[in-house]
Structure 1
Amino acid sequence: MSPRRRHLLLAPAALALPARLRAQGTWPSRPVRVIVPYAASGGTDILARALGEALRPTLPQPFVVENRAGAAGVVGSEAVARAEPDGHTLLVVVSTHVMNRYHLPSMPYDAVRDFTPIAMLTRNTMVLVAGANQPFDSLRAMIDYAKRNPGRVGTGSTEALSSFIGQELARRAGVDMPDVAYRSGGQLMNDIVAGHLPTGWTSTVSAAPHMQTGRVRILAVSTAQRSAFFPDVPTAAEQGVAEFDLSGWVAMLAPPRMDPALAASIGATVQRVFDDAAFQQRLVALGVERDFRPAPALLEAMQRDDRIWAAAAQAGHIRSQQ
């Protein structure tokens, strides 16, 4: 075979390969928008900004966090679902991203199929917080007070998971605790501190900055094990609510149809930050539970959650908003 003939046969593959490599090698070629579909100052926003700061020295372009709150995270998530899959628009969401289809009357996307999984970042243990001026200092005391005062102990939430946890606790305890919706954990905590809200379920990240003020108590954690950040706080199960074990996660997603090699490259870049000892110390200081898992494990977790929430909705434990 002549050299010229060999060149012509190899040309298509030779042209395709450099294009794919260029797509990865030049990423990011401009600032990366990291959309957090919740209000500023909440736990997810704090984590995303910490990650962006940690990535800045290692990348030629910055990660710019953009808060696009609305409709329980749907507004910002829909923007990412419609974005170009070139790696310059990413999404950081909590696990209610999957739960929303059973909580909201309609959805403009499929939470699993219409996104490219990048990585699970952290575990999202929820804590039940109350102001120090409230007439109860434990979960048991709160339940007793709520039984004597039906409907007067509202419980704040910021999205579908914390709302479900609050209402599931009330259902199991046999009390009426109206759900009070907030746009972010920061806003919820401000009202807890000010005494405007009796109790609320929020992340350890949102609660941690307020624990040194003496104006906030944590009454319980949502998981079967105590939190390493608040080891003295008993679980709900320890306080009489049997088998109570609910938590979420925070993950990074990308637009659909992203090149698998580019998605893997972004995931590996993020993993290097999460494997760094200094960043892990930063997470501990923020009250964040590191739980990094690559894309296949994230997809598995999303599919598992979808099955769990479908069963809960069928049992009537999740009611769709009208």
Structure 2
Amino acid sequence: MTFALKKLFLNIGIFSAAMPAMMLGASSAIAQTDYPARPITMVVGYAAGGATDILARLIAKSISEELKQTVIVENRAGANSNIGAEYVSRAKNDGYTLYVGTIANTINKALYKDLRYDFMKDFEPVGMMATISNVLVVNPKRPFKTVDEYIDYARKNPGDLTCASSGIGSSIHMSCELFKIQTGTNILHVPYRGSGPAVADLLGGQVDSMFDNLPSSLAHIKAGTLRPIATTTANRVDALPDTPTFAEKGVKDFLVQSWFGINAPAGTPASIIQTLNQALNDALKKPEVIKAYQTNGFTAPPPPNSPESFRQYAQSEVDKWALVVEKANIKAN
């Protein structure tokens, strides 16, 4: 065999060996370019009916329209959203399984000592969806109508007044615990697997009160089946202009703002993250979304609402709630 012929066969061998890797790279690039080529699943860590679920379904519908692909909302409730978060953290990082992160995930990082995921390391932030106020709502059959009356009743009946939440460590629970610290009251916390079941028992009289996320209680407030006492944000919310803030009523330094965002498993390609971020921000500009936010008490995030700005915000929340968990001496396990 001549030297030229040997060289030809050698080159053919090298090319053949390299082909699988080349084809894999090309396939990956095509997959990212064609994204999304099939339905996307957006996992919510709470039961249906709560604020997280309400918002996720609204945004999923709009993102679906933007991407021309179905976006399915899947509820995986339990352990204050940790079950859903862990599930998505282990999912394939191809952009087809997403997670609706909330304030609870940044609280959980300090609250749970045996988490099997790290919210800041195991997820890629896509963007913020909304923020909302919490509102103290009570069963209208109970005798208190104002902040002062609620505090007075709690002090005169220590341990008798109950405060429901969507789960241990949720912003609803933390609002109750911070309120107890600020006012020196003894209120019994009753955790549920989501806001929906908690509100149902509040309506039925099984529990007395709840520092609920505004959207899941708003319809009941308007119907008169729940009585609003005060909101947890610095200013009154547009959806409840006649309901005062706790600050107005003398409970100072008691501010809680719940938030919601979209996250993907760590390692999801930047091009996919950018596609999702653009779809999210375009969805937030839709007239029907703007109207729904006004109706349900959601506030859209300020621009540019980038993945990086969301990452920075989430880290600041991790730091903030670590201090609160320590001060309140709250333990989940």
Q: Work out whether residues 36 and 67 of structure 1, in 8 Å CA contact, stay in contact via their aligned partners in 2.
A: yes
What is residue 4 of structure 1 aligned with on the other side? none
Residue in structure 2 matching 1:306, options 318, 322, 330: 318
Higher alpha-carbon deviation: 20-29 or 141-150:
20-29
Q: Work out whether residues 24 and 265 of structure 1, in 8 Å CA contact, stay in contact via their aligned partners in 2.
A: no
Higher alpha-carbon deviation: 114-123 or 161-170:
161-170
**Deviations for 1:4-37, whole angstroms, at most 9, x for unmatched residues?**
xxxx9xx9xx989965653333111111010001
Once residues 316 and 252 of structure 2 are traced to their aligned partners in structure 1, the CA distance between those partners, rounded to angstroms, is 23
Q: CA deviation at 1:235?
A: 0.8
CA distance 1:214–1:313, shift in 2 (3 Å): closer
Q: Which runs of 5+ in 1 are unaligned?
A: 1-7
Once residues 214 and 312 of structure 1 are traced to their aligned partners in structure 2, the CA distance between those partners, rounded to angstroms, is 34
Once residues 274 and 63 of structure 2 are traced to their aligned partners in structure 1, the CA distance between those partners, rounded to angstroms, is 16
Q: How does 1:1-322 map to 2 (within 5 A)?
A: 22-159=30-167, 160=169, 161-291=171-301, 293-314=305-326, 316-322=327-333
One-letter amino acid of the counterpart of residue 321, structure 1: A
CA distance 1:234–1:103, shift in 2 (3 Å): same
Once residues 110 and 132 of structure 1 are traced to their aligned partners in structure 2, the CA distance between those partners, rounded to angstroms, is 41
Larger radius of gyration: 2
**Deviations for 1:239-259, whole angstroms, at most 9, x for unmatched residues?**
121122111200100001111
CA distance 1:24–1:318, shift in 2 (3 Å): farther
Q: CA deviation at 1:317?
A: 1.6
The size of the alignment, in residue pairs, is: 312
Once residues 18 and 95 of structure 1 are traced to their aligned partners in structure 2, the CA distance between those partners, rounded to angstroms, is 39
Q: Secondary structure at the match of 1:120?
A: strand
TM-score w.r.t. the length of structure 1 is 0.91
**Deviations for 1:64-100, whole angstroms, at most 9, x for unmatched residues?**
0100011111111111101111110000121111110
Q: Work out whether residues 202 and 209 of structure 2, in 8 Å CA contact, stay in contact via their aligned partners in 1.
A: yes
Once residues 72 and 265 of structure 1 are traced to their aligned partners in structure 2, the CA distance between those partners, rounded to angstroms, is 29
Q: Work out whether residues 161 and 187 of structure 2, in 8 Å CA contact, stay in contact via their aligned partners in 1.
A: yes
Once residues 55 and 310 of structure 1 are traced to their aligned partners in structure 2, the CA distance between those partners, rounded to angstroms, is 33
Q: Secondary structure at the match of 1:135?
A: coil
Higher alpha-carbon deviation: 166-175 or 51-60:
51-60
Q: Which runs of 5+ in 2 are unaligned?
A: 1-14
Q: Work out whether residues 102 and 318 of structure 1, in 8 Å CA contact, stay in contact via their aligned partners in 2.
A: no
Q: Work out whether residues 164 and 318 of structure 1, in 8 Å CA contact, stay in contact via their aligned partners in 2.
A: no
- How high is the sequence identity, in percent, across the aligned residues? 28
Once residues 286 and 20 of structure 1 are traced to their aligned partners in structure 2, the CA distance between those partners, rounded to angstroms, is 41
Q: Work out whether residues 183 and 251 of structure 2, in 8 Å CA contact, stay in contact via their aligned partners in 1.
A: yes
Once residues 106 and 309 of structure 1 are traced to their aligned partners in structure 2, the CA distance between those partners, rounded to angstroms, is 17
Q: CA deviation at 1:150?
A: 0.7
Once residues 276 and 60 of structure 1 are traced to their aligned partners in structure 2, the CA distance between those partners, rounded to angstroms, is 15
Q: Secondary structure at the match of 1:237?
A: coil
- Off by >4 Å, runs of 4+ in structure 1: 14-21
C-alpha RMSD of matched pairs (Å): 2.2
Q: Secondary structure at the match of 2:328?
A: coil
Once residues 155 and 37 of structure 1 are traced to their aligned partners in structure 2, the CA distance between those partners, rounded to angstroms, is 21
Q: Work out whether residues 201 and 207 of structure 2, in 8 Å CA contact, stay in contact via their aligned partners in 1.
A: yes
Once residues 57 and 122 of structure 2 are traced to their aligned partners in structure 1, the CA distance between those partners, rounded to angstroms, is 25
Once residues 209 and 21 of structure 1 are traced to their aligned partners in structure 2, the CA distance between those partners, rounded to angstroms, is 47
